[in-house]
Amino acid sequence: MTLRVLYFASLRDRTGRHEDTVDVPPATDVAALWARLQRLHPGLAEVTVRPLVACDMTYASWDRALDGVGEVAFLPPVSGG
């Protein structure tokens, strides 16, 4: 299954890319995809707080299976004051 993976803000800076196309086996979940992306982009391994994730533009949990999903977006947490 082929996924379009989008990176936002500091995650884009860490990967040097705004998106990737990744092939994953059936029954892959978000956590497994993130682990694969950390191996692909070592800068992501330095991220200490899990980013928010959206599957096909809907927020999702890290145990969400990616079967039937076309796009996964990772968004770093935002703080401000």
Q: Radius of gyration over alpha carbons of the chain, in Å?
A: 12
Instruction: Please compute the mean of the pLDDT values over residues 50-68 and round it to a whole number.
Output: 97
Q: What is the pLDDT of residue 32?
A: 98
Please check whether residue 63 lies inside any domain of the structure: yes
Give 20-58 pLDDT, tens digit per residue.
Answer: 999 999 999 999 999 999 999 999 999 999 999 999 999
Please check whether residue 80 lies inside any domain of the structure: no
Average pLDDT, the chain: 94
Give pTM, 2 decimals: 0.93
Instruction: Please compute the mean of the pLDDT values over residues 59-79 and round it to a whole number.
Output: 94
Range of the domain at 66: 2-75
Q: CATH no. for residue 45?
A: 3.10.20.30
Bridge partners (DSSP) listed for residue 19: 6
Pairing of β 2-7 and β 71-75: parallel
Residue written as token pair 């533009």? 57
Number of structural domains the chain divides into = 1
Please check whether residue 32 lies inside any domain of the structure: yes
With bands split at pLDDT 50, 70 and 90, how would you rate the model's confidence at 76?
Answer: very high
